[in-house]
Chain A
Amino acid sequence: MEDRKQILKDLLEVLKTVRTIDPAKLEGVTEETDFLADMNAPSTELINIAVKVEQKFDVEFEDDDIDRLGSKVKDVIDLIILAKERSK
């Protein structure tokens, strides 16, 4: 659980660098926050977020992971944890 909180914190740092997301939308982000519906991020931006996440967390996602990726914050956190476990 503590890990997920830290990941969320680090993820927010990544999201702050995405200029198509209004910084005001990053206030009060939870795992249930939806990138598309709540942050108004363009759908094309999700792939850029995924690449930034790979760099930030030093993980590599599979194409299938990204194809199946949901649009909520928790979906990205789940994927980061999965990728970290896979790389052990």
Chain B
Amino acid sequence: MPIQGRKVAVVGMSAAVPTCKGLDDFSNKLFAGESMIRLWDKAVARGKQMRSTVAGYITPEEMDLEPIYNAVSEEYPETFIDLQGRIPDINLATADMGSIWAMIGAKESIEMAGWTEAETRSEGTGVIMGSGGGGHEILRVAWHGFFHEGKKTRYAGSHTVDRAMGYREAANVSCLIKNRGVCESIVSACATGLGNIGYAYRLIKFGLQDRAIAGGIEGTALETFIGFDAMQVLAKGFSPEESSRPFDLKRNGFVCSFGSGVVALEDYEMAKARGAKIYGVIDEYFNNSDGDGDMFAPSFAGQKRLWAGLAAGGAHIKPDVVKVHGTSTPVGDIIELLSVADVLGESGYHISAPKSQFGHMLGAAGSVELIAALQMLDKQKVSPCINSETLNTELEFFQLKDNWKGPMKPVAEYRHLIPQQAVEKEINQIVCLNYGFGGTNSALALSRDV
């Protein structure tokens, strides 16, 4: 059970975001309305094998990492050299690209939080992070060597398991920071990032941990991209920077992206007592399932129950901004917008859809977008929903069905909620929403410390 009155503070954060060098750069691009999406040379190189070629990717070089390739395959990064000397070689040996981003993020978040070594290594410190896990370049090369080249298993190297296992990011971070509390992963597809932070919040709120490093990661992998490209759900036909266009009439899919978002959470009173800077306070977290047996389709009813669950926890939920999942897929965006409007009404808040700028980071989406929300709290600005140029003036097909129980207005009627440029305003609370395959929904309410 939650401990009455116990609050959870965000005291540190770090993000790896395509084209961005650090948090300030990310924040500046976010509010300037810049796109972080590019043509991906790795996808382009595959020619007609690929349907879509735009992505939000991060290369090893952009993270100051140098891959050391295995002699067995020139595509197999046996390990990496950290050109900035942030991560020891012994930790790099057990890490894939995403786990290295997670370790860098954890280190930067702890530094920002100002935790002592004793605090970090205590039983009161947990590590909760994970990735969506849709694809993995480590496994590709390992399996190729065995199945196609007939190599012995040992040619895959002794680090295939630790570099590819389900909770690899958490395990690598825990080995780096040497915490003695829990080390676990929540994996819930595109709700993973928010799910891990929500679970870490609960661990602190329930008194099981005093602090936690939490987040979501999606390491750059062509395999992940291929999976979604095969489903024909990726954006196509626009310039890279115009490809992700939540709510826009011409949207035709999401932009597959990669990145990492890590936050340091701490019991509010402990953080206050040691004079820590508090970047935000988590008011409540709630998650549920659609329950309709559909792996992919969004559920209006499920999302409405999500809001009801968020409000039932006792926290006052009256957001100034709703940071939506807003992927730029034809069906998802409008169901989400209408569920928000059905719950909150038609005014008094703005919609922020940061995927319009950096695409869909899958397992990292929820955590990087939460960091975007923290930037909104800090700067008192709503990030713009770029490319949402034309909104449908007609009702959606599902609004015409007999069983539709939501608003009966076309999306264009909600134009005032969706800014195309950054909006300066007083922001005291932001609700972050993320959903994932399997019908999983998650919501987190975040407030400014006042």
Where the two chains meet, the residues of A that have a C-beta atom closer than 8 Å to any C-beta of B are 17, 19-20, 42, 44-48, 50-52, 55, 63, 66
Contact = CB atoms under 8 A, between A and B. Distances in A.
Contacts of A20: 89-90, 93
Given A50-B154, A51-B72, 12 more contacts: A19-B79, A19-B92, A44-B158, A45-B93, A45-B158, A46-B158, A47-B158, A48-B78, A51-B154, A51-B157, A55-B71, A55-B72
Given A19-B79, A19-B81, A51 B93 contact: no
Contacts, number: 34
Interface in B5-59: none
Given A19-B79, A19-B81, A51 B155 contact: yes
A52 B78 CA distance: 11
Contacts of B152: 63
Contacts of B89: 19-20
A51 B71 CA distance: 10
Interface residues of B, number: 16
Contacts of A48: 78, 157-159
Contacts of B157: 47-48, 51
Interface of B is mostly: mixed
A44 B92 contact: no
27 contacts: A17-B68, A19-B68, A19-B79, A19-B81, A19-B89, A19-B92, A20-B90, A20-B93, A42-B90, A42-B93, A44-B158, A44-B159, A45-B93, A45-B158, A46-B158, A47-B154, A47-B157, A47-B158, A48-B78, A48-B157, A48-B158, A50-B154, A51-B72, A51-B154, A51-B157, A55-B72, A63-B152
Nearest to A22: B89
Interface string B64-103: 0000100110000011010000000110110000000000
Closest 5 CB pairs of A and B: A47-B158, A44-B158, A19-B89, A20-B93, A55-B71
